[in-house]
Amino acid sequence: MNATPVAEFAAWIEGQAVGFDQQTQISSFALDSSSVRPGDLFLAIRGARVDGHEFVPAALSAGAVGAMTEMPVDGPYILVDNLVHALAKLAGHFRDQFEGPVIAITGSAGKTTTKEFIAGAISPMGSILKTQGNRNSEYTAPLLWTDLEPGHKAVVIEMAMRGFNQIAHLASFSKPSVGVITNIGYAHMEMVGSRHGIAVAKGELLEALPSYGTAVLWFEDDMLEWLRLWANCSVLTFGYEDGADCRITSYRALTWHSSVVEGTCNGRPWEAQIPAAGRHIAVNAAAAVLTADVMGVDPAMAALQLKSVVLPPMRMEVIERRGTTILLDNYNASPPSMIAAIETLAELPVSGRRLAVIGEMRELGEYTEAAHRSVGVALGEAHYDKVLFYGPSTVLTAEEAIRHGMTRASIAMANSIDDVESFLDEMQPGDAALVKGSRALELENAVHREAQH
């Protein structure tokens, strides 16, 4: 955002500026007082555990020009009735000036990877504005629009949800013309009651699309036909099976870091080398190729761009240490992503043992037992040499793994992150281990401790 006088900025968000010098300008923002840079406007967010208003003094001391608040504070501030609504108004101010296509992505898993692939696939269009990292909430997503520049040809937005009406809110100011749903899984099920509830919450994106827009959906999703009902526009699909508009016809892993995916998109062939292994990652690539086709980019050209995409950490991240290989896929944990990661390591070439650290999956509500048992079935059929389970619910996973082929001697239970670290430290040259579990378990800490010592 160009430096803007505080009075003009306050008018955009219908706020009241208090205590600012007339020459003060705003061009950047901080959501955390510990990351304030001189010149930032600090956003005083009321969280479940902490209230940002308490950190306004620290933000001002760090160089913030002021704060956006929902109550009067000491120092310069812009008072708004509701911070979420004010940020939506800010985003809307910039969105209304943009005439290009806006692509929004949501889903239970694969959102960020798909977002990166889509931004790469449509790069032949020119400069693309995209969500940075996973800044996809009601507080962070609006700030994307402040980075809009005249040269941008398209905007790619990631949208997260923890409950109902959140996707609808993000779509209300982003006004997407293309909506991509990667899958309907299990994340945040406790917040919405069931997988059907998840589909309803994700379907808010489809409801927001204009009649001239396009919905891009996963063909193998068992919620596909139900999702179609939410879209008042054309619907296109991606996946492995016959009938998908963008169909994967071949997948093969080249190395731990790359694989080749071939397919057809509305009858036209494409081939992509992607910077990761995994059939589920290939599905994300197909979603990107199909979205690019909607944007007018030839599928073969779009697919070529995927080789240079840099994927974020902890998504099928390969870590080499002391002659061993760790596959860290710890950003999200649901039965589909768990099973896909288990199958990926089972397919990759390994000279030593195949090992795994399997953490529990959380926020699954009444599906907790069935979900954990389904992962156990996959483990038993994948024939891993040894698996360490972490978290109470993984007892169910271990039981099912034994029923489907694992021996009791090949199973161990962890009581702490220290046990996970010890398990990984016992790996021998040539061994490979998958590390995957709920984000809340922070299993990556056991992987990275060695570097911290």
What is the residue-level pLDDT of the chain in tens, covering all 453 positions? Answer: 899 999 999 999 999 999 999 899 999 999 999 999 999 999 999 988 899 999 999 999 999 999 999 999 999 999 999 999 999 999 999 999 999 999 999 998 889 999 999 999 999 999 999 999 778 889 999 999 999 999 999 999 999 888 899 999 999 999 999 999 999 987 666 677 788 889 999 999 999 999 999 999 999 999 999 999 999 999 999 999 999 999 999 999 998 889 999 999 999 999 999 999 989 999 999 999 999 999 999 999 999 999 999 988 777 889 998 899 999 988 778 888 899 899 999 989 899 999 999 999 988 888 889 999 999 999 999 999 999 999 999 999 999 999 999 999 999 999 999 999 999 999 999 999 999 998 889 999 998 765 443
Rounded to whole angstroms, the Cα distance separating 7 from 18 reads: 10
Q: pTM of the prediction?
A: 0.89
| Surface-to-core class of residue 104, CB atoms within 10 Å of its CB (0-12 exposed, 13-18 middle, 19+ buried) | buried
Q: Which residues have CB under 8 Å from 224's CB, separation 6+?
A: 217, 218, 237
Give me the phi and psi of 126, to 5 degrees please: 130, -155
Helix (H) / strand (E) element for 106: namely strand 102-106
